[in-house]
Structure 1
Amino acid sequence: MAKSGNREVAVVTGVGPGTGAAIARRFALGGYSVAMLARNRERLSELERETADTRGYPCDVTDEVQIDSALAAIRSELGVPSVLIHNAVGGAFGNFLQIDPQVLERNFQVNTMALLHLARRLAPAMIEAGKGVIIATGNSSALRGKANFAGFAPTKAAQRILAESIARELGPKGIHVAYVLIDAVIDLAWTREMKPDARDEFFIKPAAIAEEIWHLAHQERSAWSFNVEVRPFGETW
């Protein structure tokens, strides 16, 4: 496959049928070549067929060897990435007495360590170019630890703090780092089944999340945001 000419390259992790796919579509529509990372090869192939200027790279972001392999292929086939959207998420429900500690460790690898590994590999080229974007998607668990979120919330809080640390380091070098806190139930087939009586306005639309991420990635550099919260208009918070 030939490289993408003058198109900038965006890497999106956690590309499933919801938010990840919406982000990939939005950046492809905006003129990027989009590298989609996920573990499900079949789903990636389907999304490739649906959306022009996207390419799937099967990758478990908890595995550094797979990360390196995927990034090498992206650089060879598409070019050097200027945008990273870390949307992959590991989650679990249960209080601290119920959860398997290994689940918490796995979620930490997906949510926090993968952000570290990806940023360490992609930031040097951004620093050299004097520009770039790194955005992590999170949720309200990054700010509070509810009882039944013991296997999840600690990893999202760590992810947000890591992103802030990266932002403070890279901002003066011209790289915009931001954290998008999604305080809502995302509109997906399985969440609709879980909330069959909920009205449409209860859910946040994946395309609306993607639109805000697109806006955030293209803010004028004299007015960059770091903490960005999105929620439906009727959400109690």
Structure 2
Amino acid sequence: MDKKNPIAVVTGVGPGTGAAIARRFASGGYAVAMLARNRDRLAALEREIPNSHAYQCDVTDEAQLDVTLDAIRATLGAPRVLIHNAVGGAFGNFMEIDPKVLNQNFQVNTMALLYLARRLAPAMIAAGEGAIIASGNTSALRGKASFAGFAPTKAAQRILAESMARELGPKGVHVAYVLIDAVIDLEWTRKRFPEAPDEFFIKPAAIADEVWHVAHQDRSAWSFNVEVRPYRETW
């Protein structure tokens, strides 16, 4: 393939936001490395999305990440953009949750961002350009009772991203946190909210468009906290 194509790494590529982000960056001229644990789903998306490349990987496993990122560099080149969209979630109050679940969600949401950034940021710094974007949600800002197994990990993820932004921004690498304050329009969410009108949901493609915009902002006007929500969302 033509290695002149910039490289984007997208984690957590499933049927919703991850796939939409992969499509948006591929349509924008990127070679997209799609990471997820589900091999069959990745293979189907690889056939569907031009210039996309499937890599089965558990982002919480450093050894797997090293193998995967080495393969991406060898085949595609050094990534210019990282979108950490993989997410671990669980519902329950602090008495109900299994502490192991909270720890696992922390590994997916926060530690995986750290692992990925530590491996990809040095080449971005050397190139003097790059973007690292984490997809978040309202739990990064507040801890509701039933979100005790999830919200602490998203809050930590946002603060880690902010720390990274303050370190990497002056070196030419844009770090941002795209907070999704909405129910994403997916098959299972439609079933969960069968009576909800269309405007209740946020479209994955619309999220992807905003991620694309943030990744390509002019250096004189970089954003960090970016919030997206449907126009009728109460906030």
Using the size of structure 2 for normalisation, the TM-score is 0.99
- Secondary structure, in 3 states, of the residue corresponding to 1:235? coil
Deviation at 1:5, TM superposition (A): 2.4
| From 150, 155, 158, the counterpart of 1:157 | 155
- Secondary structure, in 3 states, of the residue corresponding to 1:15? coil
- Secondary structure, in 3 states, of the residue corresponding to 2:178? strand
| From 194, 197, 200, the counterpart of 2:198 | 200
The residue type paired with residue 214 of structure 2 is: L
Deviation at 1:166, TM superposition (A): 0.2
The residue type paired with residue 42 of structure 2 is: L
- Equivalence for 1:166: 164
- Equivalence for 2:211: 213
| From 85, 95, 98, the counterpart of 1:97 | 95
| From 199, 219, 222, the counterpart of 2:220 | 222
**Could you list the per-position Cα deviations for residues 8-62 of structure 1 after superposition, in whole angstroms to 9, with x for gaps in the alignment?**
0000000000000000000000000000000000000000000100001000011
The residue type paired with residue 105 of structure 1 is: N
Residue 89 of structure 2 is aligned to residue 86 of structure 1: no
Task: Map residues 102-141 of structure 1 onto 2, 5 A cutoff.
Answer: 102-141=100-139
Alignment partners' CA distance in 1, 2:77 and 2:121: 14
**Could you list the per-position Cα deviations for residues 105-140 of structure 1 after superposition, in whole angstroms to 9, with x for gaps in the alignment?**
000000000000000000000000000000000000
Using the size of structure 1 for normalisation, the TM-score is 0.99
The residue type paired with residue 11 of structure 1 is: V
- Secondary structure, in 3 states, of the residue corresponding to 2:168? helix
Alignment partners' CA distance in 2, 1:69 and 1:92: 29
- Equivalence for 2:183: 185
The residue type paired with residue 106 of structure 1 is: Q
Corresponding pairs, count:
235
Q: What is the RMSD of the two structures over their aligned residues, measured on CA atoms?
A: 0.5
**Could you list the per-position Cα deviations for residues 193-231 of structure 1 after superposition, in whole angstroms to 9, with x for gaps in the alignment?**
000000000000000000000000000000000000000
The residue type paired with residue 67 of structure 1 is: L
Alignment partners' CA distance in 1, 2:140 and 2:126: 31
For structure 1, which runs of at least 5 residues remain unmatched after alignment?
none
**Could you list the per-position Cα deviations for residues 75-115 of structure 1 after superposition, in whole angstroms to 9, with x for gaps in the alignment?**
01111101000000000000000000000000000000000
Alignment partners' CA distance in 2, 1:24 and 1:176: 19
* Structure 1 outlier segments of 4+, above 2 Å: none
- Secondary structure, in 3 states, of the residue corresponding to 1:35? strand
Alignment partners' CA distance in 2, 1:39 and 1:72: 17
- Secondary structure, in 3 states, of the residue corresponding to 2:175? strand
- Equivalence for 1:65: 63
Alignment partners' CA distance in 1, 2:78 and 2:172: 17
- Secondary structure, in 3 states, of the residue corresponding to 2:206? helix
